[in-house]
């Protein structure tokens, strides 16, 4: 594997949030690589640091209160934490873009959806308004919006959630980025729409050789789409594996717990298995292995 | 390309249009709005409505146009601005029918730029090329003595500055519909010309305060933290100073010019706007679409003023209409106390104060008519403000 295959290299990333109650270590010593054309999944429960990790790739951690305290993020061979804000703005949207969990609020309500796609195109490709419109309509057609010329003139509130997420994808993909970060892209959608959106992401990825960083808590989504998986728990990556291996042979007790808690079609229905307890608060992480209070294998020397 | 055959009914409805539809339902506000438009027309055409110079007059067989010759650069400038504004309004209506909504923003921006350019260039040219003429000819006397013939006078044939001591302090009559003041000027003529002062004070002062308030509020609301803490303390200090006394103090040190009064009112009344925008931006900066804009690499200024501001400007717009009413009121009060514009420039507040003479007599027509003008103008702005506030109700906002 040559260095060029690696689009993103994250090494020892730590992010802290300075709050009034104390310092919250939200991400600790996270390292992973994303290769070109790969779908990398970051899995974990709410509040485990998935989204913050993703935001740190775009250098969008709100500062204050957040700060990257250690580690490096290489994107396309550049250490992005050494770039100026201006250079960073040129990367955002052009080389790496992002779609969000909540399609209902991630579009600006006062502009037509067409205008919003056009803005992204005009900003990064230096095209005229008219040209950008042609591109925007084409992009909307690609993400499966019927009659794109007309729908481009509509406002977000006239569209359904799935539609809006398609617009978001069109916007994010309009400049053919190298990496698309999808932060729980289907969580707010109903199941049929979920499948459509995931299929769309897949096909977009294949067409443009864009890598996808898929952030989710849905292992079902991961099993089907991802090439590689990293499982995060309480600010750390606890397991990294190829997606097939992970499902066949989970190593960490937390991963095993997650997989066990999925309902299985092959078994008679019974009470679903759960992992006892709650995700610890970042302000009061347990010592040692952070999973030990909930771990079925827990022994004293992990504390 | 935008599809030109798209049926109109299916085009998107913008937030502005939604608000407009809701606003139109409130009949009282619409009437108030129409009254304000009427006032603007009166203000723009004031020299044509009330003027002691005839439109046309024949003196010794030669035809003159004294009214038009006498108009200054400001009069023509106001006229030009009025015409451009009307053309712009017609264009906006036409845009709704002819231009695809996706392009409307761009087209509108282009049109407004052109309009503003025309006004600015026009004003410069007018100032350069319209000479100041002093024409003290008494055309009424000339007509009466038979030296001038075929004179066509304005509907109210008195200028605001024309004094005539033989008719001073006369109650309303057929010659002077609203009476005359202490130097024999026609009250109606002065009332009509005074509308220019009141309306422009309202607009310019509020314009200044909105710009200051929005910029400060946006910065405080977006950055929060320490910036916000310092900024808010500053705003609180500003708010703790009684505005009217501050204005009186400042006015006492500066020359009594209209521009000074506008600026002073403007820079003392931005605190509410700043607080509104700050509160809105606190809410907006957490919104996903702002995050999305960041993730797209859009610059900070663009995010603040193109993406966040249109979503948070509604309360400021409502406040601005109340602010205009307030500014008109402050100007009237200043003029009433003698700190306003200097005579003979007419101002409603100044006219009001003439009602009580130095000998203590109360000339009711000098107080009642300017008083009513102030009352109805302030009331109209408040009604429009309330109509806007109702139209921008959150329940409607959710739909947008």
Residue B320 lies in a domain: yes
Pairing relation of β-strands A78-79 and A66-75? antiparallel
Residue B64 lies in a domain: no
Residues from chain B that touch A155, judged by Cβ atoms under 8 A, are 12-15, 400
> Radius of gyration of chain A from Cα atoms?
20
A110 and A202 inside one domain: yes
Give the separation between CA B323 and CA A93, rounded to whole angstroms.
41
Provide the domain count of chain B.
1
> Where residue B230 falls among pLDDT bands split at 50, 70, 90?
very high
A197 and A125 inside one domain: yes
* A161 neighbors A193 (Cβ within 8 angstroms): yes
> Where residue B175 falls among pLDDT bands split at 50, 70, 90?
confident
Dihedral sign, Cα of residue B90, residue B93, residue B94, residue B99: positive
Q: Which residues of B364-374 are buried (b: 16+ CB within 10 A; e: fewer)?
A: ebbbbbbbebb
Q: Which of A161, A185, A211 is the last residue of a domain?
A: A211
Residue of A nearest to B299 (CA): A89
> Where residue B4 falls among pLDDT bands split at 50, 70, 90?
very low
Residue A62 lies in a domain: yes
Query: By C-alpha distance, which of A22, A39, A23 is closest to A198?
Result: A39
Asked whether the predicted pLDDT for residue B398 surpasses 60, the reply is no
Kindly give the residue spans of alpha helices, DSSP state H, lying in B154-224.
187-223
Q: Is B254 on the interface with A (CB under 8 A)?
A: no
Nearest Cβ partner for A110 among B10, B103, B310:
B310
Provide the domain count of chain A.
2
Asked whether the predicted pLDDT for residue B220 surpasses 90, the reply is yes
Residue B34: the pLDDT is: 94
A166 and A259 inside one domain: no
What does residue B288 show for φ and ψ, rounded to 5 degrees?
-60, -35
Kindly give the residue spans of alpha helices, DSSP state H, lying in chain B.
15-24, 27-44, 46-49, 66-70, 73-98, 101-129, 139-145, 187-223, 225-240, 243-253, 258-268, 271-284, 288-295, 300-302, 309-312, 314-336, 348-353, 364-391, 394-399
Residue A16: the pLDDT is: 85
A132 and A202 inside one domain: yes
Residue A222 lies in a domain: no
Domain of residue A163: give its range. Answer: 101-211
Domain of residue B38: give its range. Answer: 28-51+160-400
Measure the CA angle with vertex A157, ends A151 and A162; round to 5°.
70
Q: Which of A211, A245, A276 is the last residue of a domain?
A: A211
Residue A4: the pLDDT is: 58
Report the Cα B176 to chain-centroid distance in Å: 28
Coil/strand/helix, residue B339: coil
* A237 neighbors A11 (Cβ within 8 angstroms): no
Kindly give the residue spans of alpha helices, DSSP state H, lying in chain A.
50-57, 85-91, 113-125, 129-142, 148-151, 161-173, 191-208, 219-225, 243-248, 253-260
Pairing relation of β-strands B148-152 and B62-64? unpaired
Instruction: Output the six-digit token pair for B71.
Output: 């108009």
Q: At what angle do helices B314-336 and B271-284 cross, to 10 degrees?
A: 170
Can you name the residues that pair with A68 across neighbouring β-strands? A15
Q: Is B110 on the interface with A (CB under 8 A)?
A: no
Give the separation between CA B186 and CA B168, rounded to whole angstroms.
9
Give the separation between CA B175 and CA B299, rounded to whole angstroms.
64
Residues from chain B that touch A91, judged by Cβ atoms under 8 A, are 297
> Where residue B364 falls among pLDDT bands split at 50, 70, 90?
confident
Residues from chain A that touch B283, judged by Cβ atoms under 8 A, are none
Give the separation between CA B327 and CA B349, rounded to whole angstroms.
12
What does residue B164 show for φ and ψ, rounded to 5 degrees?
-155, 95
A249 and A298 inside one domain: yes
> Where residue B211 falls among pLDDT bands split at 50, 70, 90?
very high
A20 and A68 inside one domain: yes
Residue B264 lies in a domain: yes
* B332 neighbors B349 (Cβ within 8 angstroms): yes
Q: Which of A211, A239, A256 is the last residue of a domain?
A: A211
User: Looking at chain B from residue 24 to 83, which residues have their Cβ under 8 Å from any Cβ of chain A?
Assistant: none
Residue of B nearest to A99 (CA): B292
Among A240-249, A291-300, B129-138, B327-336, the range of highest mean pLDDT? B327-336
Give the separation between CA B89 and CA B84, rounded to whole angstroms.
9
Q: At what angle do helices B271-284 and B187-223 cross, to 10 degrees?
A: 40
> Where residue B12 falls among pLDDT bands split at 50, 70, 90?
low
Per-residue pLDDT of chain A (303 residues), as tens digits, is: 444 567 888 888 888 888 888 788 888 888 888 888 888 888 887 778 888 888 888 888 877 778 888 888 888 888 888 888 888 888 888 888 888 888 778 888 888 888 888 888 888 888 888 888 888 888 888 888 888 888 888 888 888 888 888 888 888 888 888 888 988 887 777 888 888 888 888 888 888 888 888 888 878 777 778 888 888 888 888 888 787 777 777 777 787 777 777 777 776 667 777 777 777 777 777 777 777 777 777 665 555
CATH of the domain at B45: 1.10.3720.10
Residue B375 lies in a domain: yes
CATH of the domain at A48: 3.40.50.300
Ranges of beta strands (E only) in B110-238 are 148-152
Q: Does the distance separating the beta carbons of A93 and B296 come in below 8 Å?
A: yes
A204 and A239 inside one domain: no
Residue B276: the pLDDT is: 92
Q: Is B109 on the interface with A (CB under 8 A)?
A: no
Asked whether the predicted pLDDT for residue B32 surpasses 90, the reply is yes
Asked whether the predicted pLDDT for residue B236 surpasses 50, the reply is yes
Residue of B nearest to A88 (CA): B297
Dihedral sign, Cα of residue A256, residue A261, residue A265, residue A269: positive
A205 and A232 inside one domain: no
Give the separation between CA A11 and CA A29, rounded to whole angstroms.
7
Asked whether the predicted pLDDT for residue B103 surpasses 70, the reply is no
Ordered strands of the B62-64 beta sheet: B62-64, B56-59, B148-152
Q: At what angle do helices B243-253 and B258-268 cross, to 10 degrees?
A: 150
Residue B129 lies in a domain: no
Asked whether the predicted pLDDT for residue B224 surpasses 60, the reply is yes
Residue B42 lies in a domain: yes
Residue A199 lies in a domain: yes
Asked whether the predicted pLDDT for residue B396 surpasses 70, the reply is no
A29 and A131 inside one domain: no
Residue of A nearest to B225 (CA): A64
Residue A108 lies in a domain: yes
pTM equals: 0.79
Residues from chain B that touch A174, judged by Cβ atoms under 8 A, are none
What does residue A181 show for φ and ψ, rounded to 5 degrees?
-95, 120
What does residue B181 show for φ and ψ, rounded to 5 degrees?
-100, -165
Q: At what angle do helices B225-240 and B187-223 cross, to 10 degrees?
A: 150
Residues from chain B that touch A134, judged by Cβ atoms under 8 A, are 1
Residues from chain A that touch B14, judged by Cβ atoms under 8 A, are 110, 112, 155
Residue B78 lies in a domain: no
- Over chain B, what is the mean pLDDT? 83
A1 vs B18: which has the higher pLDDT: B18
């Amino acid at each position: 594997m040559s260095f060029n295959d690696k689009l993103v290299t994250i090494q020892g990333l730590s992010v802290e949030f300075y709050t009034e109650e104390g310092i919250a270590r939200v991400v600790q010593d996270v390292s992973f690589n994303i290769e070109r054309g790969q779908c990398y999944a970051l899995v974990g429960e709410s509040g485990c640091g998935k989204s913050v990790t993703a935001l740190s790739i775009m250098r969008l951690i709100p500062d204050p209160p957040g700060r990257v305290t250690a580690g490096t993020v290489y994107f396309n061979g550049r250490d992005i934490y050494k770039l100026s804000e201006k250079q960073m703005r040129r990367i955002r949207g052009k080389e790496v873009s992002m779609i969000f969990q909540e399609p209902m609020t991630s579009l600006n309500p006062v502009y037509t959806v067409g205008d919003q796609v056009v803005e992204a195109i005009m900003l990064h490709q230096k095209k005229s308004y008219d040209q950008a419109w042609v591109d925007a309509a084409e992009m909307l057609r690609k993400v499966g919006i019927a009659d794109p010329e007309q729908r481009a003139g509509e406002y977000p509130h006239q569209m359904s959630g799935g539609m809006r997420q398609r617009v978001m994808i069109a916007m994010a993909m309009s400049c053919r980025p190298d990496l698309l970060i999808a932060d729980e892209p289907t969580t707010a959608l109903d199941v049929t729409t979920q499948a459509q959106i995931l299929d769309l992401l897949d096909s977009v990825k294949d067409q443009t050789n864009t890598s996808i960083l898929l952030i989710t808590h849905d292992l079902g989504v991961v099993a089907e789409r991802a090439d590689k998986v990293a499982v995060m728990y309480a600010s750390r990556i606890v397991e990294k594996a190829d997606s097939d291996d992970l499902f066949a042979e989970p190593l960490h007790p937390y991963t095993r717990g997650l997989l066990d808690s999925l309902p299985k079609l092959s078994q008679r229905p019974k009470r679903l298995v759960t992992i006892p307890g709650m995700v610890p608060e970042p302000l009061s992480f347990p010592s040692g292995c952070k999973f030990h209070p909930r771990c079925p294998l827990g022994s004293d020397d992990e504390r | 390309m935008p599809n030109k055959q798209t049926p109109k009914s299916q085009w998107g409805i913008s937030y502005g249009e939604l608000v407009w539809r809701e606003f139109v339902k409130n009949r009282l506000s619409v009437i108030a709005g129409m009254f304000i438009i009427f006032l603007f027309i009166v203000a723009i055409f004031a020299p044509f409505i009330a003027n002691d110079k005839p439109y046309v007059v024949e003196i010794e067989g030669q035809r003159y146009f004294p009214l038009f010759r006498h108009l200054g650069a400001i009069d023509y400038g106001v006229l030009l601005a009025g015409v451009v504004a009307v053309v712009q309004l017609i264009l906006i209506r036409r845009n709704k029918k002819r231009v695809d909504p996706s392009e409307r923003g761009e087209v509108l921006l282009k049109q407004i730029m052109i309009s503003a350019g025309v006004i600015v260039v026009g004003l410069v040219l007018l100032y350069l090329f319209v000479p100041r003429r002093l024409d003290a000819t008494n055309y009424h006397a000339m007509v009466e003595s038979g030296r001038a013939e075929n004179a066509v006078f304005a509907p109210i044939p008195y200028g605001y500055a024309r004094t005539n001591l033989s008719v001073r302090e006369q109650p309303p009559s057929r010659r002077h519909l609203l009476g005359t003041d202490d130097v024999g000027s026609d009250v109606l003529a002065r009332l009509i010309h005074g509308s220019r002062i009141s309306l422009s004070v309202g607009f310019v002062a509020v314009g200044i305060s909105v710009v200051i308030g929005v910029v400060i509020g946006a910065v405080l609301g977006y950055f929060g933290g320490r910036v916000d803490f310092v900024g808010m303390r500053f705003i609180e200090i500003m708010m703790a100073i009684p505005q009217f006394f501050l204005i009186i103090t400042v006015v006492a040190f500066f020359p009594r010019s209209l521009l000074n009064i506008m600026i002073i009112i403007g820079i003392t009344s931005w605190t509410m706007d700043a607080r509104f925008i700050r509160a809105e931006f606190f809410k907006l900066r957490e919104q996903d679409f702002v995050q999305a804009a960041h993730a797209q690499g859009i610059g900070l200024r663009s995010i603040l003023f193109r993406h966040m501001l249109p979503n948070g400007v509604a309360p400021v717009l409502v406040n601005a209409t109340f602010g205009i009413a307030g500014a008109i009121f402050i100007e009237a009060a200043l003029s009433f106390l003698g700190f306003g514009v200097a005579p003979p420039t007419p101002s409603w507040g100044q006219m009001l104060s003439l009602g009580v003479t130095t000998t203590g007599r109360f000339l009711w027509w000098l107080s009642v008519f300017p008083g009513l003008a102030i009352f109805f103008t302030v009331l109209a702005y408040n009604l429009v403000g309330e109509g806007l506030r109702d139209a921008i109700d959150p329940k409607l906002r959710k739909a947008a």
